[in-house]
Amino acid sequence: MNKFLLISFSILLIACSSKKGDVEVIASKVVSEKAIISKVDSLISKMPLKEKIAQLQGVWMKDLMDGKTLSLDSCRKKIPNGIGYLAQFSGNLLTSPTELKIAIADLQDYLINETESKIPAILSEEAISGFSTKGATTLPQQIGMGCSWNPDLIQSNSTNTAKLMRSVGATHVLSPMLDICRNSHWGRIEESFGEEPYLTARMGLAFVKGIQTDDLTNGVATTIKHFAGYGYKGDFDEKNFYEETLLPHEVAIKLGKAQNAMAGYHQIKDIPCSANEELLTTILRDELGFNGVVVSDFWSVKQVFSRYKHAKTEPEAGILSLKAGLDVELPFGMSFPYLEEEISKGNISVDVINTALRRVLISKGNLGLLHYKRPDNETVDLDPPANRKVAYKAACESIVLLKNNGVLPLSKDTKKIAIVGPNANAVQSLLGDYTYQSLSTFFRSVPVDPNNPKLITLLDGLKSKLGEHTEINYERGCDWTKIDNKQPNEKIGDERIKKFAYIGVKDFPEPNTKKALEIAKESDVIIAAMGEHLYLVGEGRDRKDIHLPGQQSQFVQQLQETGKPVVLVIFGGRPQIITELAPKCDAIIQAWFPGEEGGNALTDIITGKVNPSAKLTVTYPKHNGQAPIVYSAGYNKGDMPMYPFGYGLSYSSFKYDNLEAPNSVSIETKEIPVTFTITNTSDFDGAEIAQLYITPPSENKNLEPIELKGFSKVFIGKGETKTIEISVSPQQLAYYHNKNWIIAPGIYEFKIGASSLDIKLSQKIDVTGNPITLKERNVFFSKHRIVN
């Protein structure tokens, strides 16, 4: 802030003296920001070049440890000039939470006491399923949380995660993942909120606000990733890029003040993202107004040379990346260690280093690290009973009921249950990629610990809740991937972790199909727990064939042939093809990776203690060739999907009625209100997710045929009616054209639905006036409220 702005702001504060409390808060914030910048500039002016460069790099925490304690000798050898970041610092450690807290404090003490500039490090971890560290609460994978359609739940979960991270000294997450994902073959779809930019933006904003909190000195800095368009295939489409790909990032920056962005592994316009000046400076900083830190994805700076040959040498990869607007190389320095030599050669100036360094140090100042004080050594519990309640609620709201012919909830007269399938008693069925457990398996080949935190499988949940009154018989029946008890020769998962994906509480016995079918024939109902685990889905784990793997489909068909009701429970990180199985299943549940309380949540849904409310945020394909698929382009009537975007069942039934909306509005109006009622016509209290879609005028080819523009998740008691109002801004009708946003007049159809295909109410509204051209949008979301 320059002197003129500070003087002007002071005058404004005096003029607004009638709101003294607000003025004092704002003035304090200005002073705080000014103090941070002053301290940062002072540090930079005195820092040796080696320490400046060290602040722009990461290091593995495990390389500084001696067992479960920090090694000062390793610190002195490996980070004598200090360090900027320790990325994924705890996913590679075996420390308890308290041991971790002490090791971090010892590290910060070393940096403050034994390096010239005395600058603490940023400790960074994954957090899409909660704090990814040993013993911490494990939440459902992000795709499941997207299906909750509950931003408030995501925000409260994230705030809780921030508290856990701060309790051990962590201050930075490599989350959330804001990529728009429409291809179920892609292994990383599980990390996304789904296929819809609007919904992803809403959920991403809630995550950012929750984990950063209102006070970054107590919160944790987020990283929006992957900037931008990771996972997208095909030629670059500028219109699509601005309208869809960038929307969640733009919202997280402008409304959430996201502190960090991560450059992706991919290329934009044939230039790697880590060295793409148009992407990282022109678009991210100049157009979106981002003023935080840009970090690399792991090894992506080196890949500018090694993979893409965009740079001629590894040192040049670092230079190009820094000049493009990237600030930090993770997980450790590969190209950046050459910077000192490259400066001496005149290939890069110290000013470029200082620009990146200033952003890093301001980030540390915002997090309170420039005034670091060692915490006490009190014991830390990262999974207290209150956290387990959080995990349970999250799981309940993430699980989607796809089919139910009346078999669910189970009758109280059910005497015998057969629980079969490879995921019936496998803790692997609960855990998405980038949980602590999956990172430990992947990087250290360590089996999953089922007791820290306690992981509740579906079998565990059924036994603990029904075991006294219901006979529960278990047999695996089939394996995840084996065919005739032998692993197939073809690659269907990540070979690096193949053998470890099968290690759980104990070595799994070979499945006994004959015994499974025998107990199935003797049961009142069969619960078949099928799907994926870590080996089959996640980063680098794409699948060409997304049918249930191995012989799972054949096994389910054998179960169906018993004539007993079959409840198919599908675990995993992506929609899987069940076209042949669905007609003869009595109920189908998409469980995703539901986290530590998944077994309890599923049991309570199956028995009716919990009424399912989740709805799909990705289209469920009917066959392999149908993916990628997206609802907004309009489904092919001759090749409809298995389940559409927005679909999900409940034990309640809901009647939509009484739509009220204006027939005509001015294009310059601020809001277009749409009001309607929903009545719960069943005997079950339940929650409904009402969705507002808009179809543009037929002559307007610049907008998709149907797009989500609002939603409201509302709890409605049995027999109760609630009135809901969703107000849409005309800015939500804008499309991108020649660096501008255009709002065109015309007759738009406003649709209220229970899914993108199940439209309950609709009305055409004539938006009148002359087209409006905007340089940028400032309204991204509709408003919604419960009128009564």
What is the CATH classification number for the domain harbouring 139? 3.20.20.300
Given a contact cutoff of 8 angstroms between Cβ atoms, the answer to whether 526 and 567 are in contact is: yes
pLDDT band at 319 (very low <50, low <70, confident <90, very high): very high
* 598 in the same domain as 518: yes
User: Can you say whether the dihedral through the CA atoms of 667, 669, 670, 673 is positive or negative?
Assistant: negative
On the question of pLDDT at 546 being above 60, the answer is: yes
Residue 627 lies in a domain: no
First-residue to last-residue Cα distance in the chain = 46
End of a domain among 597, 619, 641? 619
On the question of pLDDT at 25 being above 60, the answer is: no
On the question of pLDDT at 537 being above 50, the answer is: yes
pLDDT on residue 372? 94
pLDDT on residue 8? 40
* 188 in the same domain as 94: yes
CA distance 616 to 638: 22
* 348 in the same domain as 391: no
- Domain boundaries, position 454: 387-619
Residue 636 lies in a domain: no
Given a contact cutoff of 8 angstroms between Cβ atoms, the answer to whether 697 and 748 are in contact is: yes
* 331 in the same domain as 423: no
Residues 427-486 pLDDT 10s: 999 999 999 998 888 777 788 889 999 999 999 999 999 988 899 999 999 999 888 877
pLDDT on residue 132? 96
End of a domain among 371, 395, 428? 371
On the question of pLDDT at 507 being above 80, the answer is: no
On the question of pLDDT at 268 being above 90, the answer is: yes
pLDDT on residue 499? 63
* 223 in the same domain as 168: yes
What is the pLDDT averaged over residues 252-273? 97
pLDDT band at 351 (very low <50, low <70, confident <90, very high): very high
* 550 in the same domain as 476: yes
Instruction: Name the domain count of the chain.
Output: 4
Residue 304 lies in a domain: yes
**Is the bond preceding 754 in cis, omega lying within 30 degrees of 0?**
no
Residue 646 lies in a domain: no
Residue 692 lies in a domain: yes
On the question of pLDDT at 363 being above 70, the answer is: yes
On the question of pLDDT at 41 being above 50, the answer is: yes
pLDDT on residue 30? 57
What is the pLDDT averaged over residues 196-210? 98
* 415 in the same domain as 557: yes
What is the pLDDT averaged over residues 644-667? 98
On the question of pLDDT at 2 being above 80, the answer is: no
pLDDT band at 359 (very low <50, low <70, confident <90, very high): very high
pLDDT band at 94 (very low <50, low <70, confident <90, very high): confident
* 36 in the same domain as 55: no
Strand order, beta sheet including 759-768: 664-666, 759-768, 746-753, 686-695, 707-716
Tell me, what DSSP letter sits at residue 376? P
CA distance 148 to 203: 10
Residue 634 lies in a domain: no
What is the pLDDT averaged over residues 329-358? 97
CA distance 384 to 685: 29
On the question of pLDDT at 1 being above 50, the answer is: no
* 349 in the same domain as 239: yes
What stretch of H or E contains 39? Answer: helix 20-46
pLDDT on residue 16? 42
Of 5-14, 328-337, 475-484, 749-758, give the lowest mean pLDDT range: 5-14
415: which residues sit within 8 A by CB, 6+ positions away?
470, 471, 524
CA distance 75 to 389: 40
The pTM assigned to this predicted structure is: 0.94
On the question of pLDDT at 181 being above 60, the answer is: yes
Residues in the chain: 788
Find the CATH number of the domain harbouring 743: 2.60.40.10
* 589 in the same domain as 718: no
Helix (H, G, I), strand (E, B) or coil at 481: coil
Percent of the chain scored above 90 by pLDDT? 88
Of 160-169, 231-240, 339-348, 777-786, give the lowest mean pLDDT range: 231-240
* 294 in the same domain as 159: yes
What is the pLDDT averaged over residues 409-416? 95
262 vs 5: which has the higher pLDDT: 262
What is the pLDDT averaged over residues 59-68? 96
Residue 485 lies in a domain: yes
On the question of pLDDT at 3 being above 50, the answer is: no
pLDDT on residue 15? 39
The per-type count for the chain, helices as H runs and strands as E runs, is 21, 28
On the question of pLDDT at 140 being above 80, the answer is: yes
End of a domain among 371, 399, 434? 371
pLDDT band at 6 (very low <50, low <70, confident <90, very high): very low
What is the pLDDT averaged over residues 748-753? 98
Residue 573 lies in a domain: yes
**Mean pLDDT of the chain, nearest integer:** 93
* 422 in the same domain as 342: no
507 vs 570: which has the higher pLDDT: 570
Find the CATH number of the domain harbouring 471: 3.40.50.1700
